[in-house]
Structure 1
Amino acid sequence: MSRTAPHEGEQLNLDGSHDVALAPVRGTDTRRGLPASYFERRPRRFLAKIAVAFAVIVVCWTALLEFRNPVTCAAAVLVLGVMYAYLVELQHECLHEHAFHARWANRTWGFVCGVFMFSSYSHYKYEHLRHHAFLGTPRNQEFFNYRFHGLDSLHGFALAAFHPGRYADVLRNLGRGAARRPIPGVERPRAGRAVQNEYALLLVLLAGAVAAGVLTRDWFVVLAWFAPALLVSEAAHFLIEMPEHFGLNTQTDDNVLSNTRTIRASRFARWLTNYNNLHTAHHYHQGVPMVNVPQLHAAMQEKILVTETSYWSFYRKVIKGEIAYQGGRESDENCMTR
């Protein structure tokens, strides 16, 4: 069951699985007639992805414990950073409730997937499902508030990718969660409590990790968690997420076929992005589980108006200034505020 974007002030159940609010699309809207098979969840497939991710993480942690030398540390930090970013893509699958049939399972695994990047499942879900509902309208906003101006140089691109300001926001939210203070932008009381609880738990995990490092006088926590998250995961996640809408009018173009981008990706990129390279199809109907998005893409790809030949081609065009937001930082076409 689906519907188009809600009107201003309208209350809507944005839980990602029932009465899903769909972004506006121009032309004949056939989304209500999609085959039922497109909406089937595959929990075993998701558990396999989780198992592979954590197997790689455990191997890297073991290497840091047993073979700590510069080469091992550098390789482990790099691989762990990529895996933590990948886990946030799996968190994205959970927040849409695509991974499991039970809501508690989606939240449990979604929270676990976000721990390493301090990404609250309930906060991400609250903001992200509204991004889906309001894409193409002035109400559109995104959870990961990347800097989308000044990317037409290596320095500007790198500064946006490493996003040092996000962790200042995270620290403030950790404090708000512990103090039971309101989380900005989260207006519904029940959702607010869930977000506060998760930030409070993240703070406990952070404090425990720091305490363990201090008591053992060992750099393991830094090498296994903090360094990968800060030095690799943030940039990796930026590279995964920013092509989805960058340079497109997400605020007033009420057509998901032109305000969202599809990337023709390699097998590795399709795995790393968890099929988010097919982002137009994902926004075309957010109720279709990520594992089935390739089927949806195949059925509607002729309608897609914005495509790119590869991720690397896209990044080159951004750095050269060939793809950019028009109108500067305050453009009405830009949902980012940094």
Structure 2
Amino acid sequence: MGGQAVSRYGRIVAELRQRIETGELAPGDRVPSTREITKQWGVAMATATKVLSELRREGLVRAVPGVGTVVAAPNRPARAARTAAAASPDGSSDRPSVQAALTLGRIVGAAVRVADTEGLAAVSMRRVAAELGVATMSLYRHVADKDDLLTRMMDTVIAEHPLPADPPAGWREAIELAARQLWGLFRRHPWLAPALSVTRPQMITSALPYSEWMLATLHAHGLDLQSAFTAHLTLLNYARGIAVNLEAEREAEAHSGLDSEEWMNTQEPALLAVLATGRFPALSRLATAGYDLDLDDLFEFGLQRLLGGIASLLDEGSAG
């Protein structure tokens, strides 16, 4: 039995590896989940989990919070500027041309790349300097400190995806468009949601058009500015509240070595033991039917409920 399980595990890994290497599964494509592997190949959940762990160890796949395990992009070649021959122990470069070419745009771009690939916790002045192959102190000629750098990072990624010049005529379509675009930003940059503050908002120039869009749209359809801004903050914090799970999940996976689905599998026996007591019949039926958490679906479900509430508020204003 043990040898058969190992052989079957090896065959599944080899088959998925081949599909990735031949391009049948391209970078970003979703690979079968542990649940799908158990059904398709008829193996135990532990074997399916081991298959994905091996593919992840080989660098062929990576977990994306709320999406699942996807094919990883090929590793980028190492930057020449980061070689030991070009830099001194403190991260400074012996080539004056590198220092002379240092710009604010290059600094912010490097910081965004680090945050996108390694998480916000990995961003430091020293880490960004190493990415660029320059001395750490040279960054301070362009940014005041890490907080200043973070604000510029947020300003940059939001500015890359501006709202359209002409909003839709209907208020609901206009609000949906802005909310989904914001959600897309959080999706592309998992660090953005936890970096944004609602209680102590940073001065992010590129974010002001979102506030203006929401205020102008809702005020034009009957809401006073106070209520319109409250509605805007509610929608913003709703999207941000779901999106903070993206960065948290990435950090949890890095520490545990398990993606969210694999981690849930480890919790299943304890949950089933509690449900077997009969105290939670509704949860038991749900567990039997199965539930796949998808953050995109969760966001869309809540967005429609919030928009329905705003519609009622607008109707009340019209009636008044």
TM-score tier after normalising by the smaller chain length: under 0.3
Instruction: State the structure with bigger RCO (CA 8 A, min sep 6), 1 or 2.
Output: 1
Q: TM-score, normalised by structure 1?
A: 0.23
Q: TM-score, normalised by structure 2?
A: 0.24
The structure with more radius of gyration: 2
Write 1 or 2 for the structure with the bigger share of helix: 2
